[in-house]
Amino acid sequence: MSTQTLIYLFVGLSFALYIGIAIWSRAGSTSDFYVAGGGVNPVVNGMATAADWMSAASFISMAGIIAFSGYDGSVYLMGWTGGYVLLALLLAPYLRKFGQFTVPDFIGTRYYSRTARVVAVICLIFISFTYIAGQMRGVGIVFSRFLDVPIDTGVIAGMAIVFVYAVLGGMKGVTYTQVAQYCVLIFAYMVPAFFISFLVTGNPVPQLGLGSTVADGSGQYVLERLDATLVDLGFGPYTAGTKSTLDVFCITLALMVGTAGLPHVIVRFFTVPKASDARRSAGWALLFIALLYTTAPAVGAFARLNFVETINETEYTDAPEWFTNWEDNDLIAWVEKDGDGLMQYRAGEAFDGPPVFGEGQGASGERNVTNRWNDDTDNELYVDRDIMVLANPEIANLPGWVIALVAAGGLAAALSTAAGLLLVISSAVSHDLLKKTWRPDISEKGELLAARLAASAAVLVAGYLGIYPPGWVAEVVAFAFGLAAASLFPAIVMGIFSKRMNREGAIAGMVIGLIFTFTYIAYFKFVDPGTNDVAHWWFGISPEGIGVIGMVLNFLVAVAISSVTKGPPLDVRALVDAIRIPRGAGAASEH
């Protein structure tokens, strides 16, 4: 059976499974649609949470960023994993004990204000749509390469799949679909990692293989070989960082607290029966997440080493099949600069920007590009870093069924998170804006219809952002984490741990944090991208890390305003006490 046939088979079967589960577990009430009825087993919820949290950024892009950034890419590992621990220990059990459906529900009730609820919804929508842009780009990349369609068509196909099982099944359908998607994505990630680790080092365990010697008899360790190879090509050492300590700290912290403020992850802890189950499901999720995150550094290093040794100094006419496959999808490109017909991979950008491809082949074999190449570097190769995990099995000449499995896994990772985000957006519109703000008398049937209509509209916006993404998958996701860190995280933390924090302080803090962070990111990424470098950043902090400054501003503004305005009512203070009562200390401990 050909590789392409296997890809169609694996992807088709996985889609049939997801849609079948959605139909079987179709939501019949708002409770089913928002929180899966609140009766999900902690182990099941842990697996669903892992799938929801490990998005296309984790599966597709993170190892790719590590492959090209080396040590600097470790900020994603530290930030996302550390953030999940922070969420599990600091927020999840208390929010579950509060017992509401959504994050805006918590903020609206805790800060006794419709305005606070609406501001939280606005923050949530900004975060979720920024995040979902990365997921839909990931879907488009996978469809584009493996199903041989344009990226735009791939995004539209992904929209259709998510629409069916998210809008039909709601949180109940998405929860059990995500369990299946976790099984697919973790198997798809680990199997090629085992294969490639064994081929490169002779050790099948990738976590150990990263610290082993290369299996060519040279006695060189993997990272030692990679450092030497990249330095010879003009790159910096793979194991040396280039970012400032302050920027590394800010990006890591922004990713950590952003994780703890992500609405689509927090809502998963409302689906378990009680607060103690929220802790248990968080522990299970951390275990399931660790399988992929401890493997990613090895996958990134093996991918970069295999890529360099397979492509560099190779005749374009003798390029391996995987290269031409990805080239046909405009995700890798070669331009002839010195007339020798060899593909020279060196430091620097091959083009003045990501290439925009024309039709047909150039006279010397390279693809035509509508923008000129960069004459200041000797590099002749453009590589979209988001393809590295997906291309890894092909680069290593693994069997066709492994390539097909990776295609199904990449789609599972992107679709699982996209579905979770769409539900968060739809519940914010139907429950928080409609039911709790504008039309409190709406029937349950009407609210459920509104939730499905909101999800449908969100799918269309998500598709547009997938076709016109603002950056690499992991980079876009990092922006979403920064927005969450600057807006929702402080309001949630102060709502749980400060009885003095009032609505005026919380609202002002969220608004200031969101506006500052969004403006900073938008300026350097869209308004004046030519200045997006350390020389122009404030204090040398990149857009990926600026959420920390937004968070500090949020806290400072909130505390300052709450200190000069009237404190919250007594019933709200009692509510904060009830949330924080230890288990067994009273009836409020199990809400």
Looking at every residue in the chain, the average pLDDT score rounds to 80
Of 335, 366, 395, the residue that ends a domain is 395
Q: Name every residue whose Cβ is closer than 8 Å to that of residue 408 and which is 6 or more positions away in sequence.
A: 10, 11, 13, 14, 184, 188
- pLDDT average, residue stretch 304-323: 87
Q: Name every residue whose Cβ is closer than 8 Å to that of residue 116 and which is 6 or more positions away in sequence.
A: 107, 108, 491, 503, 506, 507, 510
User: Would you say residue 256 has pLDDT above 80?
Assistant: yes
User: Do residue 308 and residue 294 come from a single domain?
Assistant: no
Q: What percent of the chain has pLDDT over 70?
A: 87
* pLDDT per residue as tens digits for the range 443-468: 877 877 787 788 788 888 878 877 77
User: Do residue 343 and residue 240 come from a single domain?
Assistant: no
Query: What's the total number of domains in the chain?
Result: 2
User: Do residue 215 and residue 358 come from a single domain?
Assistant: no
What is the residue whose two structure tokens read 């499901």? 281
Of 395, 426, 448, the residue that ends a domain is 395
Handedness of CA 548, 553, 554, 559 (dihedral sign): positive
DSSP string, 145-174: HHTT--HHHHHHHHHHHHIIIIIHHHHHHH
User: Would you say residue 276 has pLDDT above 60?
Assistant: yes
DSSP string, 377-423: ----EEE-GGGHHHHHHHHTT--HHHHHHHHHHHHHHHHHHHHHHHH
DSSP string, 42-66: HHHHHHHHHHHHS-HIIIIIIHHHH
Domain enclosing residue 506, as ranges? 3-301+402-589
| C-alpha dist (Å) from residue 20 to 44, 126, 173 | 18, 31, 10
- Half-sphere exposure at residue 430, Cβ-oriented, CA atoms within 13 angstroms: 29
Instruction: Count the helix, strand and coil residues of the chain and give each as a percent rounded to the nearest 5.
Output: 70, 5, 25
Cα dihedral 458→463→469→473 (10° resolution): 90
User: Do residue 169 and residue 38 come from a single domain?
Assistant: yes
User: Do residue 524 and residue 377 come from a single domain?
Assistant: no
Of 395, 425, 450, the residue that ends a domain is 395
10-14, 248-252, 351-355: segment of lowest average pLDDT? 351-355
Q: Name every residue whose Cβ is closer than 8 Å to that of residue 402 and which is 6 or more positions away in sequence.
A: 191, 192, 195, 393
- pLDDT average, residue stretch 258-262: 74
Q: What percent of the chain has pLDDT over 90?
A: 16
